[in-house]
Structure 1
């Protein structure tokens, strides 16, 4: 274990605790109390939640900020507002692909192929953005870190192309996690004034990017809302209701039904009247000018989709697909991840693409160009030296800022990637059945799984178009980096 950290080994996470112990202690305060090690200050079980402890002499202070403290629910917490309508024919009972007769499965696969050929045409548009240029050229990063940054760069590139990186915008990251997508959007918008950043997630995590934006010199502070998207009424969030800024909703891999909850949340709680709201003509000026600005959601985990919140029901019903067919498609979608193999290393990726991640080489070239440009504009040597020193100090401060953030976030990249890999492994073990009687090769099963994903996504696209939005589904990142390489982009017409 690295010096300066708790020596308690977490069996479930297969790593040591990352909290720092008090001086002279081997374990952090929480695990010191758990192990019954005597200390100068006594720790007691929190009276609100028995799962954690606090110092006895700081109990009053702890109770004021304890996250388990039960209080009045905020106005934007509207139970089930985005959960969708229940269907009487919805089957709650779980079933396996092994339960489906072979002939029925063959007929459904034929229908999947037919619908895919009729409706699905997905362009590939892999973009990038200058805000992540240095990160993408960092030769110390492995595939997990590069994958996250390439995804973020492409999503921000699409937002910029859609004209959504500009002044006076409110960005809402749904399923925010660490909030890295919002962090880089803020970096891309540094020169834009009056921008708000709202991060929504139902859980908590460590190494949040929010911590980087606590100080005034780091741009706008991030507002984090801890709530399930199912219960979120965006129009009642103060930052949104009190501002005329267009709202841009973003999400990087909203698992399964979370995508549908997010789409419903954006299209209903910003543009329609929920129960108990005043008529439009009676709303305040701020409510009248409030509007939906755009949407960018990277899609994943289709095997976790559910019929009740799914927004593309009309597309399925129009094409003669039942609720059970939808659930089978969700299960078949796992066939893509079950056989996927991508780039194993950055060197393999660079060789395949003919690129380099050696930032030092690129920096030398950029420095030469910069010096040539400066010398042509500023002939006076003293002014040139003064400018160079100023630029040097600025670059050092920027490098320091980035390293402080990456010191925490990069450590979490590997952890999150490991959990994603483990999740995919567990899911495919349970869901992906070869069904040899279907006489399908590995490649054919992978293709069927991909088609199922796209049909589920196309239902979402159709729904957004019915709401009067311009909507596209695009391949935004290389498949060798992730099999979940498609995103939905939408803007008002």
Structure 2
């Protein structure tokens, strides 16, 4: 509301013009706007008014009291009080209640706002903020509290069932702050372990170690970024899945200026109006689908009887990746009376879900369609991966755990979400394959990490050369992993002051670690900054190479968990699993291009 002041002190500074001719609005002059208020005044009796009596609206009714006090008394008396009273009664229903200028109440409201404190994350749902002084009241009406109470009443909800990770905790340190010497020792250990696992190998299988794999510090300093990246095989099958050549893929310009693959899968996704994201996300989905098809996870051989295939997408979001995989599996079915069951597990609600696309696709299909959404039966489990019991969730929604084919997928499940998803799978009796595209290693944490035993055995051995390893060292590794996704222009000089290595993980989200006890927050432990460590040691791989090495070691620990604990044997046939780690798309598509594929031996698959 504009400020209005008709006092003589202000009038001396600004000449108030006379009222316009036949002015029937408020008589309060607005100094900032240099005009009279345009609100309608409070209705009063015409006979009670005089030419000298001003009229004000409800916002400026306090000026009438000032005018009366300056005129020493009451307004002029009416000639006919009875008629005036009648007219006042007739206008009573249209008269507004004057707003009092109660400065004490206004000041009290200002003080109340100051006493509310600062905004803090809601203790129930950290996605929104509340005032510190209103937390107790907000908890009673918070929608997240109602949703949490509703989810907690489900049969498949079990508080913290998938928390805690797997393995020993290692060396426990009270402080996470590492000095420069410890950081340099860890950097050398990371490169030694990485070369031990990925560079000094015989054959194509990662983990087949050579006898002599111990490198000197000078040799470690000469490892380049390209050597670290090329240590993992790169296999982009998006062109194969699109029905085009991988080397000469026909492209068309996209909205964002990049190139999008134009093939059968792209056309099917466009025809079914599946919101798969931009061309980069579409290429990732196509490559993931191609790898699954090559591993035999899409086609179903049993065509004589009814087939019950199950696709589980962890951290599904809208569920578009699972929808494409289930649709491709439905297109491979030999009988139209069979169904592919799709189970989407996601903790938060979202719009434009896969359920809508399936519902809109009823009766719309062709024989040569590579996606059959009409043969997909979808269900959604809204629960955090930390608290979901997948076996009970499948039973609750009528899904068959003992299906002819059970496939688990996850595309860019951020940070510790991948570890929670892997641990939740231990309750499933049979799994034919797992496909996980890892992401956001900077958001991992030691408490929920499933590959603790693997890293402890690697770093606290002759190869790693460390005397201790635990949360403190893992804290540095997961922070350093964030540097692998930086552009060259974002990498500062090693000696730049105030450099922070906590950067965004990928262009599809900007989640970064934000620990209260982070080393660089208070200026301590800046020697552990990855740019300072790389500069002091003179590492040829740079910060991006060292960060990528940290990423791959974190993923390798997950592979070992899947190989030795989660998928050690199949409960029904006793078959073993093959776990591979590779790059499924080039890094110019996404820097988070690592894919973990775990499949049952081909001879034992149905």
Q: 1:114-138 deviations in whole A, cap 9, x for unaligned?
A: 1001112522111126765699855
Deviation at 1:434, TM superposition (A): 2.4
- 1:78 corresponds to: 158
Question: Rg larger in 1 or in 2?
Answer: 2
1:477 aligns with one of 561, 585, 603: 585
Within 5 A, what are the aligned runs for 1:197-346? 197-215=342-360, 216-217=362-363, 218-219=373-374, 220-236=376-392, 237-238=394-395, 239-241=398-400, 243-266=402-425, 268-271=426-429, 291-319=430-458, 320=460, 321-339=469-487
- Report if aligned partners of 1:83, 1:309 keep a CA contact under 8 Å in 2: yes
> Are 1:139 and 2:253 matched, yes or no?
yes
Deviation at 1:100, TM superposition (A): 2.0
CA separation of 1:50/1:261 partners in 2, compared to 1, >3 Å: closer, same or farther? Answer: closer
Deviation at 1:306, TM superposition (A): 1.2
Structure 1 CA distance, aligned partners of 2:489 and 2:343? 35
- 1:389 corresponds to: none
Structure 1: gaps of 5 or more residues:
1-46, 53-65, 272-290, 343-415
Higher relative contact order (CA 8 A, sep 6+): 1
Q: 1:312-346 deviations in whole A, cap 9, x for unaligned?
A: 1111121213332122111111121234689xxxx
> Are 1:159 and 2:282 matched, yes or no?
no
Structure 2 CA distance, aligned partners of 1:444 and 1:293? 39
> Are 1:114 and 2:228 matched, yes or no?
no
CA separation of 1:330/1:94 partners in 2, compared to 1, >3 Å: closer, same or farther? Answer: farther
CA separation of 1:475/1:417 partners in 2, compared to 1, >3 Å: closer, same or farther? Answer: closer
- 1:178 corresponds to: 318
2:511 aligns with one of 396, 409, 423: 423
Structure 1 SS opposite 2:446: coil
Structure 2 SS opposite 1:221: strand
- Report if aligned partners of 1:333, 1:450 keep a CA contact under 8 Å in 2: yes
Deviation at 1:187, TM superposition (A): 3.1
CA separation of 1:123/1:316 partners in 2, compared to 1, >3 Å: closer, same or farther? Answer: same
- 1:434 corresponds to: 531
Structure 2 CA distance, aligned partners of 1:93 and 1:207? 45
- Output the aligned Cα RMSD: 3.6
More helix by share: 1
- Report if aligned partners of 1:169, 1:246 keep a CA contact under 8 Å in 2: yes
TM-score w.r.t. structure 2 length? 0.50
CA separation of 1:324/1:425 partners in 2, compared to 1, >3 Å: closer, same or farther? Answer: closer
> Are 1:127 and 2:237 matched, yes or no?
yes
Structure 2: gaps of 5 or more residues:
1-138, 199-230, 259-276, 301-307, 364-372, 461-468, 491-504, 522-527, 569-576, 602-606
- Report if aligned partners of 1:136, 1:149 keep a CA contact under 8 Å in 2: no
> Are 1:195 and 2:343 matched, yes or no?
no
Structure 2 SS opposite 1:214: helix
- Report if aligned partners of 2:237, 2:287 keep a CA contact under 8 Å in 1: yes
Structure 2 SS opposite 1:292: coil
Deviation at 1:204, TM superposition (A): 1.6
Structure 2 CA distance, aligned partners of 1:249 and 1:136? 31
Structure 1 SS opposite 2:233: coil
Structure 2 SS opposite 1:222: strand
Q: 1:50-90 deviations in whole A, cap 9, x for unaligned?
A: 669xxxxxxxxxxxxx9677376222222222213586767
- Report if aligned partners of 2:312, 2:344 keep a CA contact under 8 Å in 1: yes
CA separation of 1:50/1:103 partners in 2, compared to 1, >3 Å: closer, same or farther? Answer: closer
TM-score w.r.t. structure 1 length? 0.61
Structure 1 CA distance, aligned partners of 2:486 and 2:399? 41
Structure 2 CA distance, aligned partners of 1:72 and 1:148? 34
Structure 1 CA distance, aligned partners of 2:431 and 2:185? 41
Structure 1 SS opposite 2:437: strand
- Range with greater deviation from structure 2 (475-484 or 201-210): 201-210
- Report if aligned partners of 1:332, 1:452 keep a CA contact under 8 Å in 2: yes
2:550 aligns with one of 452, 469, 472: 452
- Report if aligned partners of 1:335, 1:432 keep a CA contact under 8 Å in 2: no
- Report if aligned partners of 1:136, 1:146 keep a CA contact under 8 Å in 2: no
Structure 1 SS opposite 2:281: helix
Q: 1:212-251 deviations in whole A, cap 9, x for unaligned?
A: 1125434123211111111222222124446533321101
Structure 1 SS opposite 2:386: helix
CA separation of 1:480/1:418 partners in 2, compared to 1, >3 Å: closer, same or farther? Answer: closer
Structure 1 SS opposite 2:428: coil
